[in-house]
Structure 1
């Protein structure tokens, strides 16, 4: 009986933490880290402000855990079944499709991790994870350059070019300047691809 009660308590704590992180994600994605106070997060999660500190020592710890969880999920989207033997174009299509799928599956998370500046509060571990994700793109670019397919610009510059184009398209759809669709996303992809070619 005691073990059952302990498991129920653990499960309840996990549910409350998930609700807290879900509320924080929605608020941070809309208003940014500095635009949201802990009491607002607690209210939207349906708990007291003091209860937040049962799970996180500070708002900074909360935002770093959120960033880690969702950036690591994006990394997983890129790496799962990555087509290493495909040619450069095939790899780019894969990367773009996974990027689109992630933003489609988790729009609030994508808005949170990619549409804001996080440097003032990210831990070194989170910053290192962000670099790991960028390195996936840089490795793709270096491979395309070695194959004589992609322009000889700095790899990070090329990653910033196509990734930035996708992020801006996503932001435009959130602001109702464009319609979110796979067809429109692929138009942006093709514009990027032709611009990257050597």
Structure 2
């Protein structure tokens, strides 16, 4: 029985992701989301009491997937540079493999529909990156910038690279990814 419930919830989240990225929050009604998911509208409200709850659950779900992807195989890297580079490559790969999810995060991370509570909970998933940046500053690997600023710049730069690759389909996407990291690295590293 639990599997059936999870299937319906997953179908609703997927339909919401598709419609929100295509039409925005206002352009996607709960009735449309339910129809796209193949469930009754009342069923949607069994899982998500309000549209805002659905938006926040989806945001939490997608940001959690991104965070887990960013941290994959991080323990195999030994230097600050290599760890940051691994996170970069993981992030870009996730964005290219999950363009709707990546678009959703980019479109709605500053949305008034996402509650402060959800943002706080989501940021707990990124403590590893915050700690890594602080470690890089403390060890003198990078300039003494705000860790929050570095994280924001890192994320926004990754969005730019993913969008560039998806929109223009460059012949040498590996070079674009490497160049993108180099731009970030040269802006951070002490010379």
Structure 2 gaps of 5+ residues are none
Query: Do the aligned partners of 1:149 and 1:197 also contact (CA within 8 Å) in 2?
Result: yes
Q: 1:142 deviation in Å?
A: 1.7
Tell me the distance in 2 between the aligned counterparts of 1:86 and 1:48: 51
Deviations 1:118-156 (A, max 9, x none): 442234442113322444333222211222221122222
Q: 1:96 deviation in Å?
A: 0.5
Deviations 1:168-192 (A, max 9, x none): 2223344x24549343222211111
1:155 and 2:147 matched: yes
TM-score, L = length of structure 2? 0.83
Query: Do the aligned partners of 1:43 and 1:49 also contact (CA within 8 Å) in 2?
Result: yes
Q: 1:82 deviation in Å?
A: 2.5
Q: 1:93 deviation in Å?
A: 1.0
Relative to 1, partners in 2 of residues 1:25 and 1:179: Cα closer, same or farther, differing over 3 Å? farther
1:15 match: 7
2:24 match: 32
1:192 match: 184
Q: 1:62 deviation in Å?
A: 1.1
RMSD value, Cα:
2.5
Relative to 1, partners in 2 of residues 1:136 and 1:35: Cα closer, same or farther, differing over 3 Å? farther
Relative to 1, partners in 2 of residues 1:56 and 1:188: Cα closer, same or farther, differing over 3 Å? same
Tell me the distance in 1 between the aligned counterparts of 2:47 and 2:17: 15
Query: Do the aligned partners of 1:27 and 1:36 also contact (CA within 8 Å) in 2?
Result: yes
TM-score, L = length of structure 1? 0.81
* 1:137-156 equivalences in 2 (<5 Å): 137-156=129-148
Tell me the distance in 2 between the aligned counterparts of 1:12 and 1:84: 38
Tell me the distance in 2 between the aligned counterparts of 1:36 and 1:63: 11
Q: 1:11 deviation in Å?
A: 3.6
1:165 match: 157
Relative to 1, partners in 2 of residues 1:115 and 1:178: Cα closer, same or farther, differing over 3 Å? farther
Tell me the distance in 1 between the aligned counterparts of 2:152 and 2:103: 17
1:55 and 2:47 matched: yes
Relative to 1, partners in 2 of residues 1:85 and 1:13: Cα closer, same or farther, differing over 3 Å? closer
Structure 1 gaps of 5+ residues are 1-6
Relative to 1, partners in 2 of residues 1:12 and 1:106: Cα closer, same or farther, differing over 3 Å? same
**Between Structure 1 and Structure 2, how many residues are aligned?**
189
Relative to 1, partners in 2 of residues 1:51 and 1:133: Cα closer, same or farther, differing over 3 Å? closer
Tell me the distance in 2 between the aligned counterparts of 1:33 and 1:115: 10
